[in-house]
Amino acid sequence: MPIYGYRCSKCGENFQTLVRSGETPECPSCGGVELVQQLSLIASPAKGGDSDAPSCSSVGPGPGCGGCPGGAAFG
């Protein structure tokens, strides 16, 4: 199940929640259902990166470095 980020239009609360198909998430703060989905909240908190692809700087050394040119540097 995917986790989506939302912002509540009613109280401004930002939260992340699992969304099962067919279900509508509610704001954990006020219970409102007027939510704005945040598309890239979880994907990648940009930190000066130029590339969209995952890199060592964003995922850290490890399995995620498989396709990262600089991954070997951490070895």
Nearer CB in complex with Zn ion: 11/73: 11
Q: Name which of 28 and 49 has its Cβ closer to Zn ion.
A: 28
Residues that bind Zn ion in the complex, under the rule CB under 5 A: 8, 10-11, 13, 27, 29-30, 32
Strand ranges (E), 19-68: 35-38
Residue 12: partners with Cβ closer than 8 Å, 6 or more residues away: none
- Minimum distance of Zn ion from residue 32's CB (angstroms): 4
Pairing of strands 35-38, 14-18: unpaired
CB of residue 33 to Zn ion, shortest distance in Å: 9
C-alpha 26/C-alpha 15 separation (Å) is: 10
Q: How far is the CB of 23 from Zn ion (least distance, A)?
A: 17
